[in-house]
Amino acid sequence: MSFVDGPRSPFGFAAAVTGLVAATAACVWLSWPRPDLTIQVALGSAAVVLPRYAARWRPATPLPLVLEVERGALVRVINDDTAWARLGIFSAPPHSADTERAPTVPGMFLTFCSAHPGRAIEIVVK
């Protein structure tokens, strides 16, 4: 540094750090694993399946009696109820969310479901 250049501005360093943080955040956001299927359980155990990309023009659909998932898919269960949400092979504790991976072996699973009146759900892994 010479006397002609003058002292360096602290704003250049702050801009570089801000750019580095923004680039890191963008990389993490783009590479973060997103669920293939999201199930939300409301208060009172009513469950809905949310669209993959939550869009206002694509409404949620009620949880079907036969749920089809891909092998190894990430399934996120968001439980807003006061009781455990047990949706077949997927579950979540009260007032929390849990992400689980579907089985990698294809098959049909007829299991307990706390969201359906008949307390049963069939999960088909394709």
Residue boundaries of the structural domains of the chain: 37-125
Q: Where are the beta strands (DSSP E) in 6-106?
A: 37-41, 47-50, 61-62, 66-69, 74-79, 85-87, 90-92, 96-101
In tens digits, the chain (126 residues) has pLDDT values of 555 565 666 677 777 888 888 888 887 777 777 788 888 898 887 888 887 765 556 678 888 899 899 999 999 999 999 989 898 889 899 999 999 999 999 999 999 988 888 888 899 999
Q: Are 87 and 79 in contact (CB under 8 A)?
A: no
Nearest Cα to 48, choosing from 98, 21, 85, 20? Answer: 85
Q: Give the whole-angstrom CA distance, residue 24 versus residue 29.
A: 9
CATH number among 3.30.70, 3.40.50, 2.60.40, 2.60.120, domain 37-125 = 2.60.40
Q: What are the tokens at 22?
A: 């923004």
